[in-house]
């Protein structure tokens, strides 16, 4: 069984390389990624430029490879049926499952190589763009600490008392609010530590900054570290903290130093911290390289799904129809995360009430079904992590493979194999 699968995957690979599809795709990816730095227009900072490059280069790679994976998978079976190579293949002692899996494996090998190449290119360009000659040492350090890293958020040990459904903690002018964090043991001695915080204010002017004092005390140092700043509400801020030893307890206190003075425009603001995202500790979880690798694995999980999708529709339809169907499915998948059922609700004044409720029930059902049928791609979107230096846990990669590749991919495989084993070939006689 395995030998036959390997034979078929080897054939798929060979065909892809010989037919220059592979070379063309590589050229396209290389041109797109290498040309990107000349096209993008960032905010002008090293950090912004780096983030934008990671975001666009990675996004572009993902898009190109996803399209290529779906497209070539859609053709892998359907084009061989049209070209009649499949007529000969199915007269050999091979099961439909062996053909399907062999094709999938071959295409995934291509995907893997392509992704590896593109990933290497992005990584190399990233290094090249942030090399010593381009960026100052200080810029490089802050890049390493803020973006080219993998950090995760640690919730406070002693959070805001959230009894009785309290989700917000108000700090009036002159008031304070404290959190206690324990620095995890896994934090290295030289790792940069950040406090990430976000708040709302009682002001009507949504974005008017407020002045606040942060006091950070470690349990063995008597003098707390102080920093005064003006912070804009509704935006995540990251405050670099002095180095702390692993296992240490940090007491973080916010003091609202807004003062009330008669006649001043803008009354002093009360600051509101959310119980869950108000203040969190940002620690370095791993290096950028390993995070980057995990991001690539997330992409590969997607490609595994796209390949399965393409193969299955290719087993069912002719090539053009298969391509159209696969992309339509992906389009719906993309939209299903975006359009809520509410957005499509019929309004009562447009139709009689009974008709509207009937339409709404149908819409709701369709949306629910779509949600069920389409895979949760957004949940495993590497772009939500990589450009901001957020840590991609291995469990997420595992879940992505479990859900996208094994779950959805497996279901598609079963469907595709079943369809293919029943498919008749050579319906038109010459």
Partner 1 sequence: MKNLAAIFLILAALLGLWGAARLHEQLWDYRARHQLLPAAPLENAPPLMAFTTVALGGFRGLIADLLWLRIIRLQQEGRIFEIAQLADWITKLEPHFTTVWAFQAWNMAYNISVLFPDAENRWRWVNNGIRLLRDEGLRYNPRNPNLYKELGWLYQHKIGYIMDSAHPFYRRKLAETMQAVLHGARLENHPEDTDLQRLREELKLDPAFMRQLDAEYGPFDWRLPETHALYWAWLGRQATPGTPGVPGTPDTPGVRSCDQMMLQCLSAAFRQGRLDFDPATDLYVTTPRLDLLPQVMKTYEEVIARYNERFFREIYANFLGEAIIILHSYGRVSQAREIYQQVLRRYPDVDRTISYDDFISANFAAMQKNAGDLPPPDAVAIVEGLLFQACRRKAAGDLADATEDERRARAFRDIYMQARASEDHRLRTGLPELDMLRRQAERRAQEETNAVIPERTAR
Partner 2 sequence: MQPQHAALINDPTFSPERVIRAETLTKIFRDFWRRPKVRAVNAIAFNVQAGEVFGLLGPNGSGKTTTLRMILGLLTPTHGTLSVFGRSPRDVESKARIGYLPEESCLYPYLTAREILNFYGRLFNLRRAARKTCIDQLLEMTGLQHAQHRPVGEFSKGMARRVGLAQALINDPDLIVLDEPTAGLDPVGCRQVKDLILTLARRGKTVILSSHLLADVEHVCDRVAIMGDGAILVQGRVRDLLEQHDRCRLTFPTLAPDRLEAVMQVLRRETGAAPVVDHPARTLEQFFIETVGQVRPEPTAPTGVAPTEGLAEFLRMNTKQTSNAQHPTSNIEQDQN
* Contacts with partner 1, residue ranges (CB under 8 A): 40-45, 47-48, 51-52, 55-56, 207, 209, 211, 229-232, 234-237, 257-266, 268, 387-388
Residue among 252, 297, 283 at smallest CA distance from 399: 297
Residue from 19, 63, 162, 227 touching partner 2 (CB under 8 A): that is 19
Q: Does 84 bind partner 2 (CB under 8 A)?
A: yes
Residue 25 burial (CB count, 10 A): 22
Among partner 1, partner 2, none, residue 95 binds (CB under 5-8 Å by kind): partner 2
Closest CB to partner 1 among residues 52, 68: 52
Q: Which two tokens stand for residue 69?
A: 């994976």
Closest CB to partner 1 among residues 103, 255: 255
Q: Does 249 bind partner 2 (CB under 8 A)?
A: no
Closest CB to partner 1 among residues 9, 49: 49
Q: Which two tokens stand for residue 319?
A: 């090539």
Closest CB to partner 1 among residues 189, 263: 263
Among partner 2, partner 1, none, residue 230 binds (CB under 5-8 Å by kind): partner 1
Q: Are 150 and 391 in contact (CB under 8 A)?
A: yes
Q: Are 254 and 177 in contact (CB under 8 A)?
A: yes
Q: Does 83 bind partner 2 (CB under 8 A)?
A: yes
* Distance from C-alpha of 386 to C-alpha of 58, rounded to nearest angstrom: 9
Q: Does 18 bind partner 2 (CB under 8 A)?
A: yes
Query: DSSP string of 269-290?
Result: PPEEEETTTSEEEEEEEEEHHH
Residue 266 burial (CB count, 10 A): 11
Q: Where are the alpha helices (DSSP H) in 148-256?
A: none
Q: Is the dihedral of CA 355, 356, 357, 358 positive or negative?
A: positive
The DSSP 8-state label assigned to residue 190 in this structure reads T
Closest CB to partner 2 among residues 95, 182: 95
Coil vs helix vs strand at 357: helix
Q: What angle do CA 150, 153, 156 make, to 5 degrees?
A: 155
First to last CA, the chain: 34
Q: Does 14 bind partner 2 (CB under 8 A)?
A: yes
With contacts defined by CB under 8 A, name the span among 83-91, 115-123, 200-208, 246-254 that binds partner 2. Answer: 83-91
Residue from 30, 48, 87, 162 touching partner 2 (CB under 8 A): that is 87
Binding mask 89-108 for partner 2 (x = CB under 8 A): xxxxxxx-------------
Q: What's the min distance (Å) between Cβ of 42 and partner 1?
A: 6
Residue 324 burial (CB count, 10 A): 13
Q: What's the min distance (Å) between Cβ of 230 and partner 1?
A: 6
Closest CB to partner 1 among residues 4, 240: 240
- Which chain residues interact with partner 2 by CB under 8 A? 3-4, 6-8, 10-11, 14-15, 18-19, 83-85, 87-95, 424-427, 429-430
């Amino acid at each position: 069984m395995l030998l036959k699968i390997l034979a078929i995957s080897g054939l798929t690979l060979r065909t892809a390389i010989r037919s220059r599809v592979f070379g063309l795709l590589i050229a396209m990816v290389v041109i797109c990624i290498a040309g990107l730095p000349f096209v993008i227009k960032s905010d002008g900072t090293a950090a912004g430029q780096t983030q934008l490059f990671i975001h666009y280069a990675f996004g572009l790679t993902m898009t190109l490879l996803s399209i290529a994976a779906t497209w070539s998978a859609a053709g892998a079976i359907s084009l061989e049926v049209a070209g009649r190579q499949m007529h000969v293949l199915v007269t050999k002692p091979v099961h439909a499952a062996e053909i399907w899996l062999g094709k999938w494996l071959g295409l995934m090998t291509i995907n893997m190589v392509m992704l590896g190449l593109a990933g290497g290119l992005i990584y190399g360009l990233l290094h090249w763009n942030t090399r010593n000659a381009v960026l100052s040492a200080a810029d490089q350090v802050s890049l390493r600490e803020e973006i080219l890293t993998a950090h995760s958020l640690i919730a406070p040990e002693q959070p805001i008392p959230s009894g009785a459904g309290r989700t917000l903690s108000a700090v009036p002018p002159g008031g304070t609010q404290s959190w206690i964090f324990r620095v995890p043991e896994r934090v290295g001695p030289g790792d940069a530590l950040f406090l990430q915080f976000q708040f709302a204010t009682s002001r009507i002017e949504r974005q008017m900054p407020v002045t606040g004092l942060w006091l950070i005390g470690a349990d063995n140092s008597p003098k707390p570290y102080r920093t005064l700043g003006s912070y804009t509400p509704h935006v995540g801020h990251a405050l670099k903290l002095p180095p702390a030893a692993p296992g240490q307890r940090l007491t973080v206190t916010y003091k609202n130093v807004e003062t009330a003075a008669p006649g001043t425009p803008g009354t002093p603001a009360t600051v509101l911290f959310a119980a869950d995202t108000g203040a969190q500790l940002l620690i370095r979880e791993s290096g950028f390289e390993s995070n980057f690798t995990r991001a690539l694995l997330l992409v590969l999980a997607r490609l595994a799904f796209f390949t399965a999708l393409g193969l299955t529709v290719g087993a069912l339809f002719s090539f053009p129809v298969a391509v159209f169907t696969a992309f339509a499915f992906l389009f719906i998948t993309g939209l299903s995360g975006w359009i809520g059922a509410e957005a499509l609700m019929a309004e009562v004044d447009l139709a009689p009430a009974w008709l509207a409720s009937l339409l709404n029930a149908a819409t709701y059902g369709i949306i629910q079904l779509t949600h069920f049928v389409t895979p949760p791609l957004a949940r495993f979107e590497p772009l939500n992590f990589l450009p901001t230096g957020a840590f991609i846990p291995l469990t997420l990669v595992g879940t992505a493979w479990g859900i996208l590749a094994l779950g959805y991919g497996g279901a598609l495989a079963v469907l595709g194999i079943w369809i293919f084993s029943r498919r008749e070939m050579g319906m038109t006689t010459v």
